[in-house]
């Protein structure tokens, strides 16, 4: 949602192009507030998500739901972003309808289908069905050319997340949004602030156990630092985080609920270092001149 928002705004401003926004509604509340920052409302909301869904079930519902959308609206191009299950399903549905696909953030690779899982497979498979590849970097372009994609079909565009971040940072500078669940004194100048996020499937289980144990150890080694962790909604993340870091066991670790995009940008802009497994935050934080420790084996 965040990475496509600047593209949607660009389509709005173009005299000969019309952008139609179709959402599958993964992480309903988080998506709605993120799009709201940019005054974007989906034209169609498929609302595909169900509790405890399997990847196979989600993929099947997404292919079917997006196919019905494409049959009704017949766009000239389907624009996809990134490496989610929605991307793979939409690319397949568009291919079946003989509608060309444009892939934003094309060409990212780890070379390992297990990490990130299933995202590496999603983007590799989507590449084979894509007509126009919008690569964020020269390295991403090189990856695509090495896989046999014609150079004429690859365009290096830069990263749309940076466009979105600069729009959001300007709003944050003006408004200083409140960070729910966090005392304002924690954000005061002079406090060492470590911002943490984690959500990747390949870290479920032992990975998150190790991450939480490491944060606990760091909090003891650096008692004057504040560790702020907006905890992802997935129960595979929340259980080890609450068990190891919750219940006041580590008073300088602040576990808060997931927060809206603008308060999160404020935290990024204020913190001293980030610990994350997020591909997007890896790109955003350096744009704010913040060091990032990447909690992944491959990226």
User: Which stretches does DSSP call E strand in the chain?
Assistant: 22-23, 44-45, 78-81, 101-104, 132-135, 154-156, 193-196, 226-230, 253-256, 273-276, 292-294
Q: Is 105 designated active site?
A: yes
Q: CA–CA separation, 135 vs 97, rounded Å?
A: 24
> What DSSP assignment string belongs to 200-236?
-GGGTTHHHHHHHHHHHHHHHH-TTSEEEEE--S-HH
Of 19, 64, 24, nearest in space to 45 by CA: 24
Which residues are registered as beta bridge partners of 103? Answer: 80, 133
If one counts every other C-beta atom within 10 angstroms of the C-beta of residue 118, the result is: 18
The token pair at 198 is 């984690």
- Residue 232 designated active-site: yes
Residue 199 bears catalytic tag = yes
Question: Of 234, 236, 230, which is closest to residue 182 (Cα–Cα)?
Answer: 230
Torsion of CA 295, 80, 21, 30, to 10 degrees: -10
State the catalytic residue, choosing from 119, 277, 283, 284: 119
- Tokens 């003989």 sit on residue: 98
Active site residue 14: no
- Catalytic entry in 201, 209, 238, 269: 201
Neighbours of 179 (CB within 10 A): 22
Residue 184 falls in the annotated catalytic set: no
Residue 196, classed as helix, strand or coil, is strand
Active-site residue (options: 61, 103, 105, 123): 105
- Other Cβ atoms closer than 10 A to 16: 4
Q: Does residue 83 carry a catalytic annotation?
A: yes
The one catalytic residue among 61, 133, 200, 232? 232
**H or E stretch covering 167:** helix 160-175
Catalytic residue from among 199, 226, 254, 266: 199
3-class DSSP state of 276: strand
Residues annotated as catalytic (active site), given as ranges: 83, 105, 119, 199, 201, 232
């Amino acid at each position: 949602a965040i990475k496509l928002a600047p593209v949607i705004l660009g389509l709005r401003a173009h005299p000969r192009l019309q952008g139609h926004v179709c959402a599958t509604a993964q992480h309903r509340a988080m998506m709605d507030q993120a799009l709201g920052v940019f005054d974007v409302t989906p034209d169609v909301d498929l609302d595909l998500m169900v509790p405890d869904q399997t990847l196979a079930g989600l993929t099947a519902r997404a292919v079917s739901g997006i196919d019905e959308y494409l049959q009704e609206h017949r766009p000239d191009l389907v624009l996809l972003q990134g490496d989610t299950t929605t991307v793979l399903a939409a690319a397949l549905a568009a291919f079946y309808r003989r509608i060309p696909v444009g892939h934003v953030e094309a060409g990212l690779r780890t070379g390992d289908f297990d990490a990130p899982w299933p995202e590496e497979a999603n983007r590799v498979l989507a590449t084979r069905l894509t007509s126009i590849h919008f690569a964020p970097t020269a390295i991403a372009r090189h990856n695509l050319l090495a896989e046999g994609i014609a150079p004429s079909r690859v365009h290096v565009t830069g990263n749309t997340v940076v466009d979105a971040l600069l729009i959001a940072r300007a709003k944050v500078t003006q408004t200083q949004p409140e960070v729910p669940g966090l005392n304002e004194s924690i954000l005061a100048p002079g406090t060492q602030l470590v911002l943490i996020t984690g959500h990747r499937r390949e870290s479920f289980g032992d990975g998150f156990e190790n991450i939480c144990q490491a944060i606990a150890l760091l909090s003891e080694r650096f008692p004057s630092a504040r560790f702020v962790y907006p905890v992802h909604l997935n129960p595979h993340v929340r259980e080890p985080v609450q068990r190891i870091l919750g219940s006041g066991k580590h008073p300088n670790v602040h576990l808060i609920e997931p927060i809206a995009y603008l308060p999160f940008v404020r935290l990024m802009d204020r913190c001293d270092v980030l610990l994350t497994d997020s591909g997007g935050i890896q790109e955003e934080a350096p744009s704010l001149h913040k060091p990032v420790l990447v909690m992944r084996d491959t990226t």
